[in-house]
Structure 1
Amino acid sequence: MNLNRRHFLILFGTCAASYTLNACAFAENSPKTEAEEVTKVASKPESGVIKLPPLPYAYDALEPHIDAETMRFHHDKHHAGYVKNLNAALKKHPELKDKSIEDLLSDLESVPSDIRRTVRNNGGGHVNHSMFWEIMGPNAGGEPTGAIAEAIKKEFGSFEKFQGEFNEAGKSRFGSGWAWLVLGEDQKLEVMTTANQDSPFSEGKYPIMGNDVWEHAYYIKYRNRRAEYLKAWWNVLNWDEINKRFAKAVA
């Protein structure tokens, strides 16, 4: 059957409108990433909601030392998961909304028992990773500068000795955990490790810098070569940010 021009335009317009509606419906119902969901929740002006911080740089900014795929999964899945679980736990206890996560981690015994483990694991994961993204960056690395350089030299004798002690701590941490440079209550720097997502705050120490030695932090690129990852990590350290953390800890 032949269609005249008017009938063709009407039919074409109807199909186009139907296609647009279906496309919109598909976009609206398409699954969102966990990071997008957490960011959406965190953007609400609700008191006490913990936010997933965006990466301060592109996913591939730390290559070739840390690959884009690792950064995408590490931030968008792992960190986002900690934030989601932490918000769910804190929602049960609105009386905690005005306390920082650092305060809660510093006094875990004060956290209600029904959410204490969740705060320890997921609160630690959130605080640890928020620090982790900040102390790394592109076009970084090299030896430390400023006050932290002087403090490291005073405490460890040289940057090389500190670097060796830090790498050994990260390499010998059995299973999952972190290697840290912390400032203790005696105002002295020390290298330490923690298991899982435990925070130095829980031991009365301030984390100046830390390296994540969970396998998800390096396995895509380095497989089981943790020592190689630890060595490469020094090439992405942002000493300006580390100096800011050191100044805050001392103050």
Structure 2
Amino acid sequence: MRVLPRSFSAVPSKSFVLPDLPYDYAALEPAVSGEIMTIHHTKHHQTYVTNLNAAYEKMLDAQAKGNIDAVIALQGAIKFNGGGHVNHSIFWQNLCPVSEGGGVLQQGPLSDAITAEFGSLDALQTKFNATTAAIQGSGWGWLGYDKVAGKLKIATCANQDPLQHTHGLVPLLGIDVWEHAYYLQYKNVRPEYLKQIWGIINWKDVECRYLAAK
């Protein structure tokens, strides 16, 4: 099916790349093992990037040929792999070794907003963990910012669905609860993984995202 003009030319593509981690693979131990981080980053995230580039190239080619059927058929792969790339890129920045301040939320605009919305950081963590642990299958737990309401909100997304395009929230903090993120270390005890990961949250990064979102 050809519905685009033959003269249509796709914009030359620029490949998506796997971002470097801002810390060593073993730097988040004991909360997350170096083995998990190595596999998660170099295998899982890399696969999302590789598949995203492949799907995107095919889409550009289909657009250039005016093949709308192929463009539509590729949207699922672009959403899944693009979401995986976006989500993981945020996730790596959301984490930080304890030696560099991981797990410590300083008094400031974000801590004030958390207290106003949830009562305390402990209360936020309790609600977040309960909501995220209940995800059926694979997905992500998120702390996002609702620009319309001017409030922090907890949300979950299935698979690799991106938060902003699913719930309309600006992503501040995302925690991956696909089994590849924790199973080698925590087996099927997802709640324990969620409990331990708060000790390596990069609250400085989360606050920067919060201030930018406002």
Q: Which runs of 4+ in 1 moved over 4 A?
A: none
Aligned partner (choices 122, 147, 157) of residue 81 of structure 2:
122
Matched residue type, 1:127? V
Q: Specify which structure has the higher proportion of helix.
A: 1
Aligned partner (choices 181, 186, 189) of residue 152 of structure 2:
189
Displacement after TM superposition at 1:231 (Å): 0.4
Output the aligned Cα RMSD.
1.8
- The alignment partner of 2:141 has SS state of strand
Percent of pairs with identical residues: 45
Residue in 2 that maps onto 1:141: 103
- The alignment partner of 1:210 has SS state of strand
Q: Does 235-244 or 180-189 show the bigger shift?
A: 180-189
- The alignment partner of 2:30 has SS state of coil
- The alignment partner of 1:66 has SS state of coil
Length-normalised TM-score, structure 1: 0.72
Residue in 2 that maps onto 1:26: none
- The alignment partner of 1:51 has SS state of coil
- The alignment partner of 2:74 has SS state of helix
Displacement after TM superposition at 1:213 (Å): 0.5
Contact 1:180/1:192 (<8 A) preserved:
yes
Residue in 1 that maps onto 2:162: 199
Distance 1:188 1:71 in 2: 32
Residue in 1 that maps onto 2:19: 53
Flag the structure with larger Rg: 1
Contact 1:222/1:229 (<8 A) preserved:
yes
- The alignment partner of 1:92 has SS state of helix
Length-normalised TM-score, structure 2: 0.85
- The alignment partner of 2:213 has SS state of helix
Distance 1:185 1:148 in 2: 15
Matched residue type, 1:237? I
- The alignment partner of 1:181 has SS state of strand
Alignment of 1:5-84 (within 5 A): 47-84=13-50
Displacement after TM superposition at 1:51 (Å): 0.9
Alignment of 1:93-104 (within 5 A): 93-94=59-60
Residue in 2 that maps onto 1:175: 137
Distance 2:71 2:213 in 1: 27
Distance 1:112 1:209 in 2: 32
Displacement after TM superposition at 1:112 (Å): 3.6
Q: Does 185-194 or 86-95 show the bigger shift?
A: 86-95
User: Which fold has the larger relative contact order, with Cα–Cα distance below 8 Å and residues 6 or more apart in sequence?
Assistant: 2
Count residues in correspondence.
Answer: 191
Runs of 5+ unmatched residues, structure 2: 1-11, 62-69
- The alignment partner of 1:194 has SS state of strand
Distance 1:211 1:174 in 2: 15
Residue in 1 that maps onto 2:183: 219
